[in-house]
Amino acid sequence: MTGMEGENRFIFVDPSSKHFESNRLFDLSDTILNRDGTLLPFFRLREKVTDRGMQIHTADYLFQGQIHKIQNVKGISDYYSLGLLDNFIKVASRKLARLAAFIIIEPPVVAPKLYEALPKLTELFDRVYIHNIHGDGYSMAGVDISRLRKLYWPIAYQDVQHPFWDNQDRLRRIVAISGNHNPRFRKREQYSTRIEAMADLAKLGVVDLFGRGWDQWWSRNALWWPYWRNRQALISIYQGSCPSKFEVLSRYQFCLCFENMAMDGYITEKIFDCFYAGTIPLYLGAPDISKYIPEEIYIDCRNFSSWSAMWKAVSALSESRMMVMRQAMRDFLKSESGIRFYKSLEAIFE
């Protein structure tokens, strides 16, 4: 968008789900879609675009039957996709808009087809944003490396969230917040590792599980061995769904914070949610996390030989030490490194 103020310019964002169409991607009033401020990065983006004299809409307005809903759609239009493979060919063939950027948010264990499509994506889009640009976790065969850009996960807040962070009355236990999922792609997945950790910690009586689907033994997500082998332990710690992650996190000293895949640069909202609520993350995910987030504000689970050894170490942390860690979390969010995540979406649309 740089240098384009004053022009008759339109930005169209193709969201990852139809639930966000009709500009609901920018609507903070939807308490379900905007749980814990999830949509704030997109809301801020719309404000910035509007302040610069441009319009931004979800891409359904760009397609047949929707374009008439926008007044004066003339001039230059840019198309951004948040991970949909169905629409960009239509945009290119009909010359509806310039293919500005494709943003891959999901890892290969969730969306392997996105990574298989990288050669085509880097051929057609000006830029493709991805968690790492050196091929860790995916193939670089046929990929135009010059089009790749590092993606920093867009986060909602630049500071801790009160009153959650302030809560001192916390259980000296571990909370896990996760839905029950059966990954499509097994290589380097951490869904099974998360289940095994919860099952081992359940034996010690120190973990509670929140999220959807853990009690639904008949679902597709339950149809794999790690779930069935540990089902009894999982049900014993299951506390139900989680309307607000911040509220649940604020009740606990520690959180089992595992990414869905071990891949360089793949750092999601999970660890930031812990920072907002002042809960110490027990982290397992990006092997290179220390390049982006200071080591002193999370516990690296790779440093322990077993889950019981990890619990022995973290349960011995003093209140004063944990308060130092919480303050360091707050300092990080306000630092240049933290702001890089906070402003990442705006940087993509520059």
Contacts of 320 (CB under 8 A, 6+ apart): none
The closest alpha carbon to 152, from 345, 350, 14, belongs to: 345
Q: Contact, 124 vs 93, CB < 8 A?
A: no
List the domains of the chain with CATH numbers.
9-156 (no CATH), 171-338 (3.40.50.11660)
The tokens describing 187, both together, are 């290589």
Q: How many alpha carbons lie under 13 Å from residue 319 in its C-beta half-sphere? A: 6
Q: How far is Cα 202 from Cα 207, in angstroms, rounded to an integer?
A: 6
**Tokens 């170490």 — which residue?**
313
Predicted confidence at residue 264, as pLDDT, reads 98
Render pLDDT for 44-74 as a digit per residue (tens, 0 to 9).
Answer: 999 999 999 899 999 998 885 555 555 555 5
Q: How far is Cα 303 from Cα 290, in angstroms, rounded to an integer?
A: 13
Predicted confidence at residue 63, as pLDDT, reads 82
Q: What is the DSSP letter of 111?
A: -
The structure's pTM equals: 0.94
The closest alpha carbon to 22, from 37, 33, 8, belongs to: 33
Q: What is the DSSP letter of 36?
A: G
Render pLDDT for 71-125 as a digit per residue (tens, 0 to 9).
Answer: 555 557 899 999 999 899 989 988 889 999 999 999 999 999 999 999 999 999 9
- Report the Cα 46 to chain-centroid distance in Å: 20
Give residue 140's identity as a one-letter amino acid code.
M
Q: What is the DSSP string of 230-242?
A: THHHHHHHB----
Q: What is the DSSP string of 167-228?
A: ----EEEEEEE------S--TTB-HHHHHHHHHHHHHHT-EEEESSSTT-TTSGGG-SHHHH
Residue 228: CB atoms within 10 A of its CB come to 12
Predicted confidence at residue 70, as pLDDT, reads 52
Whether the upstream peptide bond of residue 226 has omega within 30° of 0, thus cis, is no
Q: How far is Cα 200 from Cα 308, in angstroms, rounded to an integer?
A: 7
Give residue 332's identity as a one-letter amino acid code.
F
Query: 162, exposed or middle or buried, with CB in 10 Å at 0-12, 13-18, 19+?
Result: exposed
Q: Which residues of the chain have pLDDT under 70?
A: 1-7, 64-75
